């Protein structure tokens, strides 16, 4: 979440007039994240999230995201619901961008994840995978192994300005993953971005999942690998085995992992670390002038990549037979 595009008051009023949510009382930009322009929208009817989709999100993918959120909610997953206008449309245009309004979820993201948080996230991820099993839509993951080389090429010439040796280390990691990426693992709809700021807790309980704009069709175990990257490292860069064990156990309590998924987990974890390192690196080197956004440090995921490169079996991350 971020703010790249400002919304003029008159345009906002015209846009909101097409909905049955009353007039605008306040609009506040949300600074977290890097993908879209997001605002906390307060109207007579209550609070909502207004999203303007920026260039990285393809307009043709938006119906997939909208339909998926509605599908998951129907199957018990607490996630934002698109608000449709009087014409029954969930998507419109505002400030020259595709735009949507979704419901506001109660709860807050966690600043410092506990073992209990990690267990709850593992279980929620497995429930999401099962709930999406009969979803008819599909979306290719543009940010899996076949999409990483263009990111590397975009950052290659300036990578070493971030830290010496980053270019050659990235190239070697990419080549290794391209050669060893698994094939034909169990797959379906995945969230692909289940970071702590995309999971809400309320009174100690997981209360909802948000930000489905990376959701796609890919390996379930890759989604778990993303979770291990996002939730199970400490601020000093060390991997917390107890948190990893809790996340994997929470996931397996809902959806068992196959032998093939367990064997592939190390390479999937390396891939997840490289994926977020590369997108952060590109964003770090190319922040748009005037954007109200805080670019995230790519070196955080460079350190995680190096950890996963030093480990070769799923038990190193907390898997217990």
CA dihedral over 295, 299, 304, 309, signed as positive or negative: positive
Taking only the tens place, the pLDDT of each residue in 171-212 is: 999 999 999 999 999 999 999 999 999 999 999 999 999 999
Sheet with 37-43, strands from edge to edge, namely: 24-29, 37-43, 46-52, 97-103, 92-94
State the Cα–Cα distance between residues 289 and 37, nearest whole angstrom: 15
Using DSSP's 3-state secondary structure scheme, residue 68 falls into helix
Taking only the tens place, the pLDDT of each residue in 265-288 is: 999 999 999 999 999 999 899 876
CA distances from 133 to 105, 128, 212 (A): 24, 9, 16
Q: Check: CB of residue 200 under 8 Å from CB of residue 208.
A: yes
Place of tokens 């996630």: 79
Q: What's the residue count for the chain?
A: 321
Q: Check: CB of residue 182 under 8 Å from CB of residue 270.
A: no
The DSSP 8-state label assigned to residue 315 in this structure reads G
So what's the pLDDT on residue 106? 92
Taking only the tens place, the pLDDT of each residue in 230-273 is: 999 999 999 999 999 999 999 999 999 999 999 999 999 999 99
Closest by Cα among 61, 12, 6 to 37: 6
Taking only the tens place, the pLDDT of each residue in 211-232 is: 999 999 999 999 999 999 999 9
Spell out the domains of the chain, with CATH numbers in brackets: 9-103 (3.30.200.20), 115-317 (3.90.1200.10)
β partners of residue 292: 3
CA dihedral over 68, 71, 76, 81, signed as positive or negative: positive
Cα–chain-centroid distance for residue 242? 23
Q: Is the model's pLDDT at 21 over the cut of 60?
A: yes
**Average pLDDT of the segment spanning 75-79:** 97
């Amino acid at each position: 979440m971020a703010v790249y595009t400002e919304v003029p008051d008159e345009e906002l009023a015209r846009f909101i007039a097409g909905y049955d949510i009353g007039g605008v009382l306040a609009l506040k930009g949300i600074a977290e994240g890097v993908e879209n322009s997001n605002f906390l929208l307060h109207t007579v009817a209550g609070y909502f999230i207004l999203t303007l989709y920026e260039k990285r999100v393809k307009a043709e993918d938006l119906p997939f995201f909208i339909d998926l959120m509605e599908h998951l909610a129907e199957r018990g997953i607490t996630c934002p619901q698109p608000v449709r206008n009087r014409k029954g449309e969930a998507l419109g245009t505002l400030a020259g961008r595709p735009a949507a309004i979704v419901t506001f979820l109660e709860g807050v993201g966690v600043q410092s994840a506990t073992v209990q948080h990690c267990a709850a996230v593992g279980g929620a991820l497995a429930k999401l995978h099962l709930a999406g099993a009969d979803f008819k839509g599909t979306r290719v993951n543009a940010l899996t192994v076949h999409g990483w080389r263009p990111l590397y090429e975009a950052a290659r010439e300036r990578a070493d300005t971030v830290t010496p040796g980053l270019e050659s280390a990235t190239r070697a990691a990419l080549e290794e993953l391209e050669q060893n990426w698994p094939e034909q693992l169990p797959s379906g709809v995945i969230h692909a971005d289940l970071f702590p700021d995309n999971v809400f807790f309320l009174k100690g309980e997981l209360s909802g999942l948000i930000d489905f704009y990376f959701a796609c069709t890919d390996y379930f175990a890759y989604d778990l690998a993303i979770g291990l990257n996002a939730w199970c490292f400490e601020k000093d860069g060390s991997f917390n085995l107890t948190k990893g064990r809790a996340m994997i156990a929470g996931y397996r309590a809902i959806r068992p992992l196959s032998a093939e998924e367990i064997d592939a987990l190390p390479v999937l974890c390396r891939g997840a670390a490289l994926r977020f390192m590369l997108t952060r690196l590109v964003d770090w080197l190319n922040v748009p002038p005037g954007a109200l956004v805080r670019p995230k440090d790519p070196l955080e995921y460079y350190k995680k990549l190096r950890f996963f490169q030093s480990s070769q079996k799923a038990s190193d991350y907390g898997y217990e037979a």
